[in-house]
A and B are shown apart, each in its own frame.
Chain A
Amino acid sequence: MHAPAVTTGRDLRLDLFRGIALWLIYLDHIPSNVVSWITIRNYGFSDATEIFIFISGYTAAFVYGRAMRERGFVVSGARILRRAWQIYVAHIFLFAIYMAEISYVATSFENPLYAEEMNILDFLKQPDMTIVQALLLKFKPANMDVLPLYIILLLLFPPVLWLLLRWPMLALGSSLALYVLTWQFGWNLPAYPEGSWYFNPFAWQLLFVFGAWCALGGAKRLAPALQWPATMVIAILYLGFAFVIAMSWYLPEQISIVPHWLEDLIYPIDKTNLDVLRFAHFLALAALTVRFVPRTWPMLGSWILYPAILCGQHSLEVFCLGVFLSFAGHFALVEISGAFWVQVAISLSGIAAMIATAALLTWYKNLEGRSPGQRSKSPDADLAGGEA
């Protein structure tokens, strides 16, 4: 990995892989979607969420790290909090759309076979409680867990960034210690009506802080280790192991290729608390990617990858659009047809809509004289190319 010197331009690989992660998250969020078989969660332990959170940490440190060096703690901290606020507003907007969909289902679908499933609508009976809990980020409908995680991570980011700029190893060590303590003591934030957060912020912060650490010189430190053949061998072996385990999920119960002692050892693979197996799987993927996709890879400038890069450069808007489109896509599958070709058509047109929206946003930015990937004179670092 090349050292992302704080003054040089943007690493397009970040945009590329974040864009791809956004597409995969969209595909995974449409239930019973044939196309979601291509996404990485089916072939190993980690999924697109890890990529998204890591790159978000990386870009946040890249953008706000520079701001903190140039303008100080207060200014950069204020910008980070403004970003957190924007994401909060986006999350509440998505919640409103979710409410609209679920209310429609509540009034139009009265199949007696599903009387029990209709209890999902119980919260409509007590909107006071539900809406307040949603505003507090405690009530989160299915598939709406990533943005609240992102909000918490950004809220806590100013002091973390401060520490990362001074004593990077201490910051990373503290993050790791928090992760270990979280596993030890089972810390998490409470959710409504019961349980706790689906993405435990105290565990997932490790990935975010690790991304930030890489952006602020950590990647440079790791670069020699990534060149060792041993690193590659271990990464490939581990990915192969994860692949075999993942394949065993799709075999009939009668054929068990995984020995019992191994099952006892690895299961459950805990997504809520960012299981070590998932984290390691992401690291192995990242190590291979960094090795085989150099920063100067010519394809990064080609038109084939441009759509994904565009989406990655407007990640918040495209992410929100993806959540909305996955609701809408499922709605269409239910109301029109769930046929194979409809699933494919909805998947492709959703991605096309994400690309078109990203292109439109770039057009707007260009109108205002700022283009992605280019540092503008405006101090508005978080809205210029380096969207965190």
Chain B
Amino acid sequence: MKAFIALVLAVSALAGRALAVDPPSCAVPDSLFFVDSNLNRVTTAVGKQHRLAIAVFGTGSSTLAGADGPSLAYPARLEVALNQRLSNVMIRVATRTKVGQTADGMRRNMKDLLTDEKPDLVIWQTGTVDAIRRAELDEFRAALEAGVDTLHTGGADVMLMNMQYSPRTESMISVGPYADEMRAVAQQRDIPLFDRFAIMRYWSDEGAFDFYATGKDNGLAQRVHDCLGRAIGKLVIEDGHLQTFVNKASQ
């Protein structure tokens, strides 16, 4: 038994080193992307004005702590990724996050978001707080529908983003029913869903990241956010039909 434990430790230490040396491959298979929705606003803004204003509207998991947190969190990484791939387009990603907000709380602040940022696309990250607080599913769904409609009426495209895959808290936070509601609303309103949960789960299964890790390792969080930013960028390009604007070099 002791020999077995030693072996496991040795193997995991090697694996850890390999991760530290090579950047993890965090490619996402197409089957995890919702690629049949159309972000018409995005298509128009890029096609006609060569600019794109995105607003990330989220809660705690859209941020990273620390002084350089904002530049390392996925909204900033999305801006970098899109600017690299669409270098002829002016890309701006604004971030509006407030810790501990339920979907319904966020919905109330949407008008401000629209007037302040005038976004072409709003990435609405939500669901975690509702799942933690065990909010009522009907009300969660109603808040999602009302929020999406407000954003559409205000002239913005919408992309929903669901929860993180968090294996350690899985038995304490029942994420599934809330993720199902988000999927249903996305399907019903014909808008893309960035399935963060499934994508992170895929990375975990593939061994790209160890989400079971304990301790204050900022590196893991930063690498995950960088990968998330790039993956969102890919989905924006797909659903906004921006392939013709992608730099040849970055493909």
Where the two chains meet, the residues of A that have a C-beta atom closer than 8 Å to any C-beta of B are 29-32, 101-102, 105, 108-120, 140-143, 191, 193-196, 198, 252-254, 263, 267-268, 270-272, 326-327, 330-331, 333-334, 338
* CB of B67 closer than 8 Å to a CB of A: no
Interface size on B, residues (CB 8 A): 49
* CB of B34 closer than 8 Å to a CB of A: yes
Are B212 and A143 in contact, CB atoms less than 8 angstroms apart?
no
Q: Assuming the A-B contacts A32-B167, A267-B184, are A120 and B31 also in contact, with contact meaning beta carbons closer than 8 angstroms in the complex?
A: no
Within 8 A of A (CB), among B98-149: 99-100, 128-129, 132-139, 141
In the assembled complex, the Cα of A11 lies from the Cα of B147 at a distance in Å of 53
Residue of B nearest to A260 (CB): B188
Chain B residues positioned under 8 Å from A195 (CB to CB): 133-136, 139
Which of B31, B60, B164, B167 is the one whose CB lies under 8 Å from A119?
Answer: B60
In the assembled complex, the Cα of A141 lies from the Cα of B173 at a distance in Å of 8
* CB of B249 closer than 8 Å to a CB of A: no
Q: Assuming the A-B contacts A111-B220, A142-B173, A194-B133, are A334 and B168 also in contact, with contact meaning beta carbons closer than 8 angstroms in the complex?
A: yes
Residue of A nearest to B8 (CB): A337
Are A112 and B214 in contact, CB atoms less than 8 angstroms apart?
no
Which of A120, A193, A194 is the one whose CB lies under 8 Å from B169?
Answer: A120
Query: Which of B35, B168, B170, B214 has most A Cβ within 10 Å?
Result: B168
Are B135 and A114 in contact, CB atoms less than 8 angstroms apart?
no
Residue of B nearest to A252 (CB): B31
Are A334 and B167 in contact, CB atoms less than 8 angstroms apart?
yes
In the assembled complex, the Cα of A29 lies from the Cα of B128 at a distance in Å of 19
Are A254 and B36 in contact, CB atoms less than 8 angstroms apart?
yes
Which of B133, B170, B177 is the one whose CB lies under 8 Å from A330?
Answer: B170
Are A196 and B217 in contact, CB atoms less than 8 angstroms apart?
no
Are A111 and B217 in contact, CB atoms less than 8 angstroms apart?
yes
- Min CB gap A182→B, angstroms: 13
Chain B residues positioned under 8 Å from A268 (CB to CB): 137-138, 141, 181, 184
Chain B residues positioned under 8 Å from A31 (CB to CB): 167, 170-171
In the assembled complex, the Cα of A331 lies from the Cα of B172 at a distance in Å of 11
Listed A/B pairs (15) with beta-carbon separation below 8 Å:
A31-B167, A32-B167, A111-B220, A115-B61, A116-B99, A116-B164, A118-B169, A140-B134, A143-B171, A194-B136, A195-B133, A253-B34, A263-B188, A330-B170, A330-B171
- Min CB gap B18→A, angstroms: 19
Are A326 and B36 in contact, CB atoms less than 8 angstroms apart?
no
- Min CB gap A376→B, angstroms: 39
Q: Mark B184-197, 1 if CB is under 8 A from A, else 0.
A: 10011000000000
In the assembled complex, the Cα of A96 lies from the Cα of B184 at a distance in Å of 36
Are B141 and A119 in contact, CB atoms less than 8 angstroms apart?
no
Chain B residues positioned under 8 Å from A102 (CB to CB): 172
Chain B residues positioned under 8 Å from A116 (CB to CB): 59-61, 99, 128-129, 164
* CB of B174 closer than 8 Å to a CB of A: yes
- Min CB gap B183→A, angstroms: 8
* CB of B221 closer than 8 Å to a CB of A: yes
Chain B residues positioned under 8 Å from A108 (CB to CB): 214
* Known pairs A31-B171, A117-B169, A270-B138 / 5 extra A-B pairs, C-beta < 8 Å: A111-B213, A117-B166, A143-B171, A252-B31, A263-B188
